[in-house]
Amino acid sequence: ILIGYLEYVKQRGFHTAHIWACPPLKGDDYILYCHPETQKTPKSDRLRHWYIQMLMKAKEEGIVVEINNMYDEYWAVAHASPTDLPYFEGDYWVGLAEELIEKLDEEGKSAKKKKDHKTKKPKHLAKKDARDDVDFHDQLMLKLGEHIHPMKDDFLVVKLFPSCAQCKQAIHHGTIWKESKTCLCDGCYQTQMSTQSNVNETPPYVPIQLTLKEKCSDPDDVVESEIFDTRQAFLSLCQANHYQFDELRRAKHTSMLTLFHLGQLTNGYIYSCNVCKADINSGTRWHCNTCVDYDVCAKCYETKAAAAHGHPLEAVGTVSDVAKKALEERKKSIALHMQLLVHASSCDEGGCASANCEKMKELLRHGAQCKLRATGGCGVCRRVWALLQIHARQCRGSECRVPRCNDLREHLRKLALQQQLMDDRRRAAVTEQYSRQAEDDSNSGGC
């Protein structure tokens, strides 16, 4: 699966993959909820060894070009900057950088800091690699390097395309000039040849025509889903609904319900027929461009039940044929509903000039009084709940009057905090592990 995924992303145009070989802590569920009791969690070195084995196999198959580590890749030159590092949410160095920035700020403000103070590198850095003698211009990169170096083998950098030794750009196509250990793109090679006075001084580069498979195109539409937005969002859904993977029958049940959630329309918003009040999940949807929110299903349109509306209706198309036009229309419709929701929540006038203000107020009253609720299968409640969730994700107001807005935002904040705490706990455990290892090495060396 790993090798197949690397081949797929390579055909999509990605040139580098980054892997952090860090198993989850004991008792933590990283993505899937409730693992089998017999399933064992590999140690860090065993997991790293497995990754390297798979990557070496991918290299033999021509999928991977080069395997490196994060330290040797990004800390090789003195002018290295934190902006050069790949940013991934929840990554080790991201949280570490935030802590180091706070410490550097405190040191900068401290009155006891000496002007002639020079930061010294740890002894275990000075004797491992010639690159450790690099005098970094950026203090944050220096501090990050001191932490990353002992564990650099856990941060794998996988090159899917060859990269130029001078401009550092990935070479996707065309001619590459290959030397024993390095290669140049055609532009850098021609520049080097034109500026070189003696041709014999240049290394013997061999031209190689880079031929790749045709770039893969994915014809499937991009499906946006809140529950798959982050790892923690999917894990929270499984925990709240007891979607477990500890037994085969539970894993099958969880997989089916996951597909059900994935099959819901974008952002959980579902169009409803204004005649029969049923959800329009399939078939042609007839939309009124005059009214803000008026849609009719194909069945009601064929029976001419919508003729009493009075405005012309436009066929949007079948759900299976919905493409960019339908997606843009849905976004515009949701944006209008968000404006109407905010207006109706703060409107205290009895006879509001907005024609749809009272309709939105009725929906909100129904959502507050309904006994069946969205979890019980009420279609109106499900629609109201979807609107409130979309609003809560977008709202930044301190005193919002939309119902349940503060509660939903607090729930989203707790989810983000829960994910951050798990990431901090993993980072602290990894740091402690390598700190103990460094102390053991120094004690054994002293004896």
Q: Looking at residue 289, which CATH number applies to its domain?
A: 1.20.1020.10
Residue 219 lies in a domain: no
Asked if residue 252 and residue 340 are part of one domain, the reply reads: no
In sequence order, which residues have a C-beta less than 8 Å from that of residue 295 and are 6 or more positions away?
271, 272, 273, 274, 280, 285, 286, 287, 288
Q: Which two tokens stand for residue 360?
A: 């939105």
Rounded Cα gap, residues 262 and 188, in angstroms: 47
Helix crossing, 231-241 with 248-262: angle to 10°?
Answer: 120
Q: In terms of residue numbers, what domain contains 242?
A: 227-263
Res 133: pLDDT: 55
pLDDT tens digit at each of 447 positions of the chain? 999 999 999 888 898 999 999 888 777 787 888 888 888 888 889 999 999 999 999 999 989 999 999 999 899 877 888 888 998 877 888 888 988 898 888 888 775 555 555 554 444 444 444 445 566 778 899 999 999 999 999 999 999 988 887 787 887 777 787 777 778 888 888 887 777 655 555 567 777 776 666 666 777 766 667 788 777 788 888 887 889 999 999 999 999 999 888 876 544 456 778 888 787 766 778 888 887 678 888 888 888 766 778 888 888 765 444 555 666 777 788 888 999 999 999 888 777 878 788 889 888 989 888 888 876 678 888 888 888 988 998 898 888 999 999 998 888 888 777 777 777 887 888 888 888 877 777 777 655
Buried b (16+ CB within 10 A) or exposed e, 307-332: eebeeebeebeeeeebeeebeebbee
The number of domains in the chain is: 3
Asked if residue 299 and residue 246 are part of one domain, the reply reads: no
- What strand order describes the sheet that includes 66-69? 16-20, 155-159, 66-69
Decide which of 179, 210, 241 is a domain's last residue. Answer: 210
For 412, other C-beta atoms within 10 Å of its C-beta total 15
Rounded Cα gap, residues 389 and 399, in angstroms: 17
Res 200: pLDDT: 57
Rounded Cα gap, residues 228 and 179, in angstroms: 44
Residue 75 lies in a domain: yes
Res 122: pLDDT: 46
Asked if residue 166 and residue 245 are part of one domain, the reply reads: no
Buried b (16+ CB within 10 A) or exposed e, 372-405: eebeeebebbbbbbbbbbbbbeebeeeebebbbb
Rounded Cα gap, residues 214 and 210, in angstroms: 12
Asked if residue 198 and residue 61 are part of one domain, the reply reads: yes
- What strand order describes the sheet that includes 206-210? 183-185, 174-178, 206-210
Residue 275 lies in a domain: yes
Res 121: pLDDT: 47
Asked if residue 104 and residue 142 are part of one domain, the reply reads: yes
Asked if residue 308 and residue 185 are part of one domain, the reply reads: no
Which secondary-structure segment (H or E) carries 435? helix 405-446
Asked if residue 236 and residue 153 are part of one domain, the reply reads: no
For 416, other C-beta atoms within 10 Å of its C-beta total 13
Asked if residue 303 and residue 292 are part of one domain, the reply reads: yes
Asked if residue 304 and residue 203 are part of one domain, the reply reads: no
Residue 309 DSSP SS3: helix
Rounded Cα gap, residues 408 and 310, in angstroms: 39
Residue 20 DSSP SS3: strand
Asked if residue 122 and residue 150 are part of one domain, the reply reads: yes
